[in-house]
Amino acid sequence: MGHAYAFDTLGYARALEDAGVERRQAEAHATAARTFILAEVATKADIESLSAKIAHTRTSLRSEIKHEILKGVVMICGFVTALAAGLGVVAKILLG
């Protein structure tokens, strides 16, 4: 994922200091938050890219499903035709 986000580590550390956290700990916490937590945040560009990939996959799958359905219909029509021809032969033999 990209890293196109803004995180004010100085402001974050100052807010922690204002709440009573020692400066060294506040700075370490801000750095850790930026490094480990925000590294996993998806950006708008990440989401748009994933959405485009999903849309492409959906379109491809729909096309493949339609093709497989058509193949199945053609196969069934072939079986029905062969069955009808076989029944015709049997009828001729039996009815003479």
The reported pLDDT for the residue numbered 19 is 93
Is pLDDT above 90 for 24? yes
Mean pLDDT of 26-53: 86
The reported pLDDT for the residue numbered 83 is 95
Q: How far apart are CA 96 and CA 89, in angstroms?
A: 10
Is pLDDT above 70 for 4? no
pLDDT digits (tens, 9 = 90+) for 72-85: 999 999 999 999 99
Q: How far apart are CA 35 and CA 41, in angstroms?
A: 11
Q: How far apart are CA 37 and CA 7, in angstroms?
A: 11
Is pLDDT above 70 for 5? no
The reported pLDDT for the residue numbered 31 is 87
The reported pLDDT for the residue numbered 62 is 97
Q: Please report, rounded to a whole number, the percentage of residues in the chain having pLDDT higher than 90.
A: 60
